[in-house]
Structure 1
Amino acid sequence: MNDHLLYAALSAAERGWHVFPLRPRTKRPALHGEEQCPQIRDCAGGHRKWEDRATTDPDRIRRAWADLPFNVGLATGPSRLLVVDLDVPKRSNGDTPCGATTFQALCERAGQAVPDTYRTRTASGGQHLYFTAPPGTRMPNSAGKLGRLIDTRGWGGYVVAPGSLTPAGAYTVLDNRAPVPLPAWLHGLLSPSRSAAPSRAAIADRAFRAHRYALRGLEAEVWSVARAMQGERNSTLLSAARALGRFIAWGDLPRDVVEEALQQAGEAAGLSPRACTATIRSGLNWSIAHNSQRRTA
């Protein structure tokens, strides 16, 4: 089993794709988290997340897969990939089309054929379509932006590579051709209509009374949310809302400016608009209630 998964990891690395270990028979990263970081080896200069530690180095890969049957995670951002994830409904429901059917309809409406590119079958029966990302871009993840049961994985995201095994089944290759460039029409649909992180000038124009410290705090929290990785997006958004609510309570930032900035960053990270709105409202309300008076230094 180790040899099979080691081969899968090395095969992906030969294509220039950056890999990292997932826990055996799961889709969860096997690398330590920030709280458990030993601050040695790769993390000697500070904690490095899975996206930063993903590698194409065959020696590092052989050492990582030497003892345990780790599944293979593929960091899409460093691999310069944009992967379209076509999922299937969690439960059998004749009224709910799968992601592949919805994607085919999307292509037909655009007057385009379903792209022929590297394609894998997921353990649940869904599909992953691999595309090379447009040069000079850092495309984020998205959830449902192209349609129901269609997500995308770019910077801040990863997919399970073929050869990996879970209790639900195996990840296998359906079409082994090289990934083709992301079609321009798909790129256009995925490009945000508004910037994920409003510029300082734009924020200052609407919040001219805000203190510089509050503006710096807003920029930092928005950047943190937009870069949050899968599995930490909602908690990062909630933490940001709680951190920024005090500036609203103290009159340093208008609530609508904070809500708009966090909403855009949350959606850019891959959260649904409804989930973003609910989390932001909850975090801001909590913070405002607990920061009615400005604390003095």
Structure 2
Amino acid sequence: MATTHRQARTPALAHALSAAERGLAVIPLSRTKLPALRSPHRDDPGAAPCHGECGRPGHGVHDATSDPDRVRELFAAAPWATGYGIACGLPPHHLIGIDLDTKATGDSSAALRELALRHLFTIPPTVVVLTPSGGRHLWLTGPPGVAVPNSAGRLAPGIDVRGAGGYLVGPGSRTRHGAYTTAPGTAHLAPAPCPRALLRLLLPAPRAHRSTPSPGGAHGQGLVQFVLAAHEGQRNTRLFWAACRAYENGIGPALTDALITAARRTGLSEQEARATITSAARLTRPTDPGQGTTPDRGA
């Protein structure tokens, strides 16, 4: 999966540069799968939270970059790195990782197939990375402006999700337990779009809120209140979720203005809100009857 980089001093750097060429933001990892560079603020417990604004490396996934020169700088600062992490949720791919853990109780692949049957989605052909423990990472892409949260076992036992703020161990990395490799037949693939039904499962469920009158009746009122209750960092995700529910229930066009107004009150611009609602409308269009709904047995 990696191309040859003559100036790369280690296999990990070569693989990381290859990933960066495809627009994936990377960081160096140690043999423990943790970021190789320690925080520059580790000796100052009273320091204000920093996500890299100080300009120094050592901020974990916040250091992630696809700039080859910056990638080389990070690995030069961590010559002991034996692997690399790929940041999820960042443009242009907005990567989502579905981690099928074989060490968990039960069969995580069977659990994913059951979810696919129950919710009528198919896992498309996509990049699959094999872990040293026998697990698998499925690479999918999400829509812009939608932050899929990280979770462990929420979908089903043994299924973890890597989303915004998380990272996946890249193929070619070596850890104390072995190497991560690309599954045969998937190295040439690009990460596939996340099926719309699966994306709905990955987004946070709404909580009950006191409502005020809005188009679409009580259901529309609840969706508007759900958007109004959003905090910074979840505004786009909540708006996208609410817009999806509105279009699924046939009240999308009637509720658009109310959702935009609510989103603007949380701090989004009208342009951002309209783009997110348009993305939700596109995602919830009826599926072509000719498309299959049988889950991929390789998942």
TM-score category of the 2 structures, normalised to the smaller one: 0.5 to 0.7
1:108-147 matched pairs, under 5 angstroms: 108-147=117-156
The residue number in structure 2 matching 1:68 is 80
Matches within 5 A, 1:53-92: 53-66=63-76, 67-79=79-91, 80-89=94-103
8 Å Cα contact 2:37-2:58 kept in structure 1: no
Deviation at 1:89, TM superposition (A): 1.7
CA positional deviation for 1:44: 3.1
Provide the C-alpha distance between the structure 2 equivalents of 1:29 and 1:82, rounded to a whole number of angstroms.
19
Aligned residue type for 1:72: Y
In structure 2, do the counterparts of structure 1 residues 164 and 46 end up closer, same or farther at CA, with 3 Å as the change threshold? closer
Which residue is equivalent to 1:19? Answer: 26
Q: Report the aligned-residue RMSD.
A: 3.3
Moved more, 119-128 or 102-111: 102-111
AA aligned opposite 1:155: A
Alignment CA distance shift 1:16-1:88 (3 Å): same
- Structure 2: runs of 5 or more not aligned: 1-7, 212-228, 235-299
Tell me how far apart the structure 1 counterparts of residues 232 and 87 of structure 2 sit (CA, whole Å). 20
Q: Aligned residues: percent identity?
A: 40
| DSSP-derived class of the 1:140 partner | coil
Match runs of 1:223-262 below 5 Å: none
Amino acid at match of 1:166: T
> Shift of residue 46 of structure 1?
8.4
Distance 1:60 1:112 in 2: 39
> Any conservation in 2 of the 1:2–1:65 contact (CA below 8 Å)?
no
Q: Distance in 2 between matches of 1:46 and 1:165?
A: 26
Q: Which moved more, 1:75-84 or 1:6-15?
A: 75-84
TM-score by length of 1: 0.58
1:62 to partner: Cα distance: 2.0
> Could you tell me the TM-score, scaled by structure 2's length?
0.58
Question: How far apart, in 2, do the equivalents of 1:5 and 1:45 lie?
Answer: 24
Q: Find the counterpart in structure 2 of residue 232 from structure 1.
A: none
Pick the structure with more helix per residue: 1
Tell me how many residue pairs correspond in the alignment: 198
Aligned match for 1:161, one of 151, 155, 170: 170
Mapped to 2, the partners of 1:184 and 1:36 lie a distance apart of: 45
Letter in 2 for 1:6: L
Matched, 1:99 2:111: no
Q: Secondary structure at the match of 2:201?
A: helix
Q: How does 1:171-250 map to 2 (within 5 A)?
A: 171-174=180-183, 175-176=186-187, 177-194=189-206
Deviations 1:47-88 (A, max 9, x none): 973232111111121233243343101111225111111111
The Cα offsets for residues 249-277 of structure 1, whole Å up to 9 and x where unpaired, read as xxxxxxxxxxxxxxxxxxxxxxxxxxxxx
Shift of 1:186: 0.2
